[in-house]
Amino acid sequence: MAIVPRTEDGICDFFETRLRYWKNERELLGLTPERILQLEHEIANARMLRNKALEIRQAAKAATAELWIALEQLGKTGSACISTIRTTAALSDEPRDVLSAALIPPIRPKSKRPKPEKASILSASITHFGAVALKWKGTTAHGTFYTVLRKLAGETNYTVLGSVSAKSFTDAAIPIGTSIAVYTLIAHRGKHRSEPSAPTAVSFASLSQPKSAPAVAEKTA
Protein backbone atom coordinates (compact mmCIF):
# COMPACT_ATOMS: atom_id res chain seq x y z
CA MET A 1 0.00 0.00 0.00
CA ALA A 2 1.41 3.38 -1.01
CA ILE A 3 2.04 5.66 1.96
CA VAL A 4 3.37 8.68 0.05
CA PRO A 5 0.60 11.22 -0.66
CA ARG A 6 -0.15 12.13 -4.27
CA THR A 7 -0.69 15.87 -3.86
CA GLU A 8 2.01 18.47 -4.38
CA ASP A 9 2.02 19.76 -0.81
CA GLY A 10 1.41 16.29 0.53
CA ILE A 11 4.59 14.86 -1.05
CA CYS A 12 6.75 17.75 0.16
CA ASP A 13 5.27 17.68 3.67
CA PHE A 14 5.68 13.91 3.91
CA PHE A 15 9.45 13.92 3.29
CA GLU A 16 10.13 17.22 5.07
CA THR A 17 8.56 15.78 8.24
CA ARG A 18 10.68 12.61 8.07
CA LEU A 19 14.00 14.12 6.96
CA ARG A 20 15.09 15.19 10.48
CA TYR A 21 14.35 11.74 11.95
CA TRP A 22 16.04 9.96 9.06
CA LYS A 23 19.15 12.11 9.48
CA ASN A 24 19.34 11.42 13.21
CA GLU A 25 18.76 7.69 12.78
CA ARG A 26 20.63 7.34 9.50
CA GLU A 27 22.75 4.36 10.56
CA LEU A 28 19.82 2.56 12.18
CA LEU A 29 17.75 3.02 9.02
CA GLY A 30 20.57 2.00 6.71
CA LEU A 31 20.70 5.33 4.86
CA THR A 32 24.01 6.71 3.60
CA PRO A 33 25.07 10.33 4.09
CA GLU A 34 25.00 10.75 0.30
CA ARG A 35 21.39 9.57 0.12
CA ILE A 36 20.35 11.86 2.98
CA LEU A 37 22.07 14.80 1.27
CA GLN A 38 20.41 13.98 -2.04
CA LEU A 39 17.00 13.74 -0.37
CA GLU A 40 17.54 17.05 1.44
CA HIS A 41 18.45 18.75 -1.83
CA GLU A 42 15.48 17.33 -3.72
CA ILE A 43 13.05 18.29 -0.97
CA ALA A 44 14.28 21.89 -1.04
CA ASN A 45 14.13 21.98 -4.84
CA ALA A 46 10.62 20.52 -4.96
CA ARG A 47 9.37 22.97 -2.33
CA MET A 48 10.93 25.90 -4.20
CA LEU A 49 9.34 24.85 -7.51
CA ARG A 50 6.02 24.21 -5.76
CA ASN A 51 5.99 27.76 -4.37
CA LYS A 52 7.00 29.13 -7.76
CA ALA A 53 4.22 27.20 -9.49
CA LEU A 54 1.71 28.45 -6.94
CA GLU A 55 2.74 32.05 -7.59
CA ILE A 56 2.45 31.51 -11.36
CA ARG A 57 -1.00 29.96 -11.01
CA GLN A 58 -2.23 32.79 -8.82
CA ALA A 59 -0.86 35.33 -11.28
CA ALA A 60 -2.44 33.44 -14.19
CA LYS A 61 -5.78 33.37 -12.36
CA ALA A 62 -5.65 37.11 -11.79
CA ALA A 63 -4.56 37.71 -15.39
CA THR A 64 -7.40 35.53 -16.69
CA ALA A 65 -9.94 37.50 -14.63
CA GLU A 66 -8.55 40.75 -16.03
CA LEU A 67 -8.66 39.29 -19.53
CA TRP A 68 -12.36 38.44 -19.31
CA ILE A 69 -13.17 41.89 -17.95
CA ALA A 70 -11.34 43.38 -20.95
CA LEU A 71 -13.09 41.00 -23.37
CA GLU A 72 -16.49 41.88 -21.92
CA GLN A 73 -15.81 45.58 -22.36
CA LEU A 74 -14.49 44.96 -25.87
CA GLY A 75 -17.66 43.04 -26.71
CA LYS A 76 -19.87 45.90 -25.52
CA THR A 77 -17.93 48.54 -27.45
CA GLY A 78 -17.70 46.36 -30.57
CA SER A 79 -21.42 45.55 -30.44
CA ALA A 80 -22.19 49.27 -30.23
CA CYS A 81 -20.06 49.82 -33.33
CA ILE A 82 -21.86 47.03 -35.21
CA SER A 83 -25.21 48.50 -34.22
CA THR A 84 -24.12 51.90 -35.57
CA ILE A 85 -22.92 50.30 -38.81
CA ARG A 86 -26.20 48.44 -39.29
CA THR A 87 -28.16 51.64 -38.66
CA THR A 88 -25.99 53.46 -41.20
CA ALA A 89 -26.55 50.67 -43.70
CA ALA A 90 -30.31 50.76 -43.16
CA LEU A 91 -30.35 54.48 -43.97
CA SER A 92 -28.07 54.06 -46.98
CA ASP A 93 -29.15 53.62 -50.61
CA GLU A 94 -26.63 50.78 -50.84
CA PRO A 95 -26.90 48.93 -47.52
CA ARG A 96 -25.02 45.89 -48.80
CA ASP A 97 -22.02 48.02 -49.75
CA VAL A 98 -21.90 49.52 -46.26
CA LEU A 99 -22.08 46.12 -44.58
CA SER A 100 -19.57 44.63 -47.03
CA ALA A 101 -17.08 47.42 -46.31
CA ALA A 102 -17.42 46.68 -42.59
CA LEU A 103 -17.15 42.91 -43.11
CA ILE A 104 -20.53 42.59 -41.38
CA PRO A 105 -23.03 40.05 -42.76
CA PRO A 106 -26.57 41.27 -43.40
CA ILE A 107 -29.28 40.22 -40.96
CA ARG A 108 -31.09 37.20 -42.32
CA PRO A 109 -34.85 37.54 -42.19
CA LYS A 110 -36.54 34.99 -39.99
CA SER A 111 -37.83 32.12 -42.05
CA LYS A 112 -41.60 31.85 -41.97
CA ARG A 113 -43.08 28.57 -40.95
CA PRO A 114 -44.99 27.03 -43.84
CA LYS A 115 -48.73 26.77 -43.61
CA PRO A 116 -49.91 23.41 -42.30
CA GLU A 117 -51.23 20.88 -44.77
CA LYS A 118 -54.73 19.54 -44.52
CA ALA A 119 -54.87 16.34 -42.47
CA SER A 120 -56.42 13.13 -43.75
CA ILE A 121 -58.34 10.87 -41.37
CA LEU A 122 -57.09 7.30 -41.81
CA SER A 123 -59.44 5.50 -39.43
CA ALA A 124 -62.36 6.14 -37.11
CA SER A 125 -63.33 3.07 -35.10
CA ILE A 126 -65.67 2.37 -32.21
CA THR A 127 -63.96 0.94 -29.12
CA HIS A 128 -65.34 -1.67 -26.71
CA PHE A 129 -66.35 1.18 -24.40
CA GLY A 130 -68.40 2.95 -27.07
CA ALA A 131 -65.86 5.71 -27.69
CA VAL A 132 -64.56 6.70 -31.13
CA ALA A 133 -60.82 6.39 -31.78
CA LEU A 134 -59.56 8.65 -34.54
CA LYS A 135 -56.23 8.39 -36.32
CA TRP A 136 -55.02 10.61 -39.13
CA LYS A 137 -52.17 11.30 -41.50
CA GLY A 138 -50.29 14.53 -40.91
CA THR A 139 -47.26 16.05 -39.22
CA THR A 140 -46.46 17.52 -35.83
CA ALA A 141 -43.36 19.38 -37.09
CA HIS A 142 -42.94 23.16 -36.61
CA GLY A 143 -45.33 23.15 -33.65
CA THR A 144 -48.27 21.76 -35.64
CA PHE A 145 -51.36 20.73 -33.66
CA TYR A 146 -54.87 19.69 -34.58
CA THR A 147 -58.36 20.71 -33.56
CA VAL A 148 -60.90 17.90 -33.61
CA LEU A 149 -64.50 18.79 -34.46
CA ARG A 150 -67.66 16.67 -34.35
CA LYS A 151 -71.18 17.00 -35.72
CA LEU A 152 -73.97 14.68 -34.58
CA ALA A 153 -77.07 13.66 -36.49
CA GLY A 154 -79.47 16.60 -36.74
CA GLU A 155 -76.79 19.21 -35.96
CA THR A 156 -75.89 21.89 -38.48
CA ASN A 157 -72.58 23.09 -37.08
CA TYR A 158 -69.49 21.28 -35.84
CA THR A 159 -68.55 21.36 -32.16
CA VAL A 160 -64.89 21.61 -31.08
CA LEU A 161 -63.90 18.58 -29.00
CA GLY A 162 -60.34 19.60 -28.25
CA SER A 163 -56.84 20.20 -29.63
CA VAL A 164 -53.93 17.78 -29.63
CA SER A 165 -50.32 17.83 -30.84
CA ALA A 166 -50.53 14.12 -31.70
CA LYS A 167 -52.06 12.31 -34.67
CA SER A 168 -54.78 10.53 -32.77
CA PHE A 169 -57.75 11.40 -30.59
CA THR A 170 -60.39 9.47 -28.65
CA ASP A 171 -63.91 10.86 -28.35
CA ALA A 172 -65.28 9.34 -25.13
CA ALA A 173 -68.19 11.77 -24.81
CA ILE A 174 -70.68 10.27 -27.24
CA PRO A 175 -74.24 11.13 -26.14
CA ILE A 176 -76.50 8.16 -25.44
CA GLY A 177 -78.71 7.36 -28.40
CA THR A 178 -76.36 8.85 -31.00
CA SER A 179 -76.90 7.27 -34.40
CA ILE A 180 -74.12 8.90 -36.34
CA ALA A 181 -71.18 11.22 -35.66
CA VAL A 182 -69.19 13.09 -38.28
CA TYR A 183 -65.62 14.19 -37.60
CA THR A 184 -63.25 16.64 -39.24
CA LEU A 185 -59.83 18.09 -38.37
CA ILE A 186 -58.14 21.47 -38.74
CA ALA A 187 -54.35 21.69 -38.59
CA HIS A 188 -52.76 24.73 -36.88
CA ARG A 189 -49.22 26.09 -37.08
CA GLY A 190 -48.55 29.44 -35.48
CA LYS A 191 -51.17 31.87 -36.81
CA HIS A 192 -51.90 29.67 -39.80
CA ARG A 193 -54.59 27.02 -40.13
CA SER A 194 -55.42 24.48 -42.79
CA GLU A 195 -58.67 23.77 -44.53
CA PRO A 196 -60.86 21.23 -42.70
CA SER A 197 -60.14 17.62 -43.54
CA ALA A 198 -62.65 15.57 -45.48
CA PRO A 199 -65.42 14.61 -43.03
CA THR A 200 -65.54 11.05 -41.74
CA ALA A 201 -68.80 9.56 -40.45
CA VAL A 202 -69.14 6.87 -37.79
CA SER A 203 -72.43 4.97 -37.54
CA PHE A 204 -73.72 3.66 -34.21
CA ALA A 205 -76.95 2.21 -35.63
CA SER A 206 -75.70 -1.38 -35.57
CA LEU A 207 -74.92 -1.19 -31.84
CA SER A 208 -78.66 -1.33 -31.07
CA GLN A 209 -79.01 -4.60 -33.02
CA PRO A 210 -77.59 -7.52 -30.96
CA LYS A 211 -77.21 -9.94 -33.87
CA SER A 212 -75.86 -7.47 -36.42
CA ALA A 213 -72.24 -7.22 -37.52
CA PRO A 214 -69.91 -4.92 -35.57
CA ALA A 215 -70.18 -1.21 -36.37
CA VAL A 216 -67.85 -0.03 -39.13
CA ALA A 217 -66.69 3.51 -39.69
CA GLU A 218 -67.87 5.10 -42.88
CA LYS A 219 -66.16 7.87 -44.79
CA THR A 220 -68.06 10.53 -46.63
CA ALA A 221 -66.54 12.44 -49.47
What's the pLDDT score for residue 160?
95
Element (H, E) at 132: strand 132-137
pLDDT one-digit tens code per residue, 79-135: 999 999 999 998 888 888 999 999 999 888 777 778 888 888 888 899 888 899 999
What's the pLDDT score for residue 206?
60
* 89 touches 98 (CB < 8 A): yes
* 135 touches 121 (CB < 8 A): yes
- Per DSSP, the three-state class of 167 is coil
Cα dihedral across residues 135, 139, 141, 143: positive or negative: negative
pLDDT one-digit tens code per residue, 4-59: 998 999 999 999 999 999 999 989 999 999 999 999 999 999 999 999 999 999 99
Fold of 120-219: Immunoglobulin-like (2.60.40)
| Domain boundaries defined on the chain | 8-88, 120-219
- Per DSSP, the three-state class of 150 is strand
pTM of the full structure:
0.47
What gap in Å lies between CA 200 and CA 125, rounded to an integer? 11
